Amino acid sequence: MTVSEPDFAGVAASTEVQQLARWALASGDAAGRHLVLVDKRLAHVYVLDARGRLLGHAPVLLGLARGDGTVPGIGERPLSEVRPEERTTPAGRFMPEPGRNMEGEDVVWVDYDAAVSMHRVRARVKSERRLERLASSTPADNRISYGCINLPAAFYEQVLVPAVRANAVVYVLPEVRPLADVFPGLRPTGAAGGRRQGARARPLG
């Protein structure tokens, strides 16, 4: 039976998130997969099951720079060569794939070629205050990463990873371009990158 109405269980979600979820379910674009919806403007992620029921939601950390694309070849460059204005989280429709980085940490690849993944927040650099940024009540300070989507550890392990293992599609909403530019007519633009296994030399943080 076709599902057309997502159920956010009373949790507030932007009009665009609800519109995209409704279309993904009603059109069959999600094709029976779980939905992972990343609202960059509000720095928040929502995970719905294949019937559109909310499994969980959480704040996220995103790329330092505003923007909806990626610089060609950025996934092959050392972090030291990535300029602040290039540290964007790309918008679009992606097929996530579990994998590991060179440190052996498990991640969920979103845009493999651009080295963008979803992973547990890393609080290695005290001055970045990543845990505090996640806990703040405003999305204004959630821009810090090189492009990766940082999640609370418990949400990553208990909600995101099980959804991806069950089969999911990731929709990253734009923050600069109109929604219809990234999802024309709310039709899929195609998955970015292939489903890959293994590790990269280094994922963006």
Sign of the alpha-carbon dihedral angle for 21, 62, 90, 65: positive
Whole-number pLDDT of residue 87: 85
Q: Is residue 181 part of a domain?
A: yes
**Is the pLDDT score of 84 beyond 60?**
yes
**Winning range, highest mean pLDDT, from 26-30, 70-74, 186-190:** 26-30
pLDDT band of 73, cuts 50, 70, 90: low
User: Of 130, 127, 139, 134, whose CA–CA distance to 205 is shortest?
Assistant: 130
The reported pTM is: 0.87
Three-state SS for 44-90 is EEEEECCCCEEEEEEECEEECCCCCCCCCCHHHCCHHHCCHHHCCCC
Q: Is residue 109 part of a domain?
A: yes
Q: Is residue 193 part of a domain?
A: no
Q: CATH number of the domain that 43 lies in? A: 2.40.440.10
Tally the C-alpha atoms within 13 A of residue 175's C-alpha that lie toward its C-beta.
21
**Is the pLDDT score of 1 beyond 60?**
no
Q: Is residue 4 part of a domain?
A: no
What whole-number distance in Å separates Cα of residue 63 and Cα of residue 75? 14
Residue pair 164/108 in contact (Cβ under 8 Å)? The answer is yes
Domain count for the chain, please give it: 1
**Is the pLDDT score of 131 beyond 50?**
yes
Q: Is residue 204 part of a domain?
A: no
The range of the structural domain enclosing residue 87 comes to: 15-186
Mean model confidence pLDDT for the chain: 86
Which pLDDT tens digit goes with each residue over 27-71?
999 999 999 999 999 999 999 999 999 999 999 999 999 999 877
Q: Is residue 26 part of a domain?
A: yes
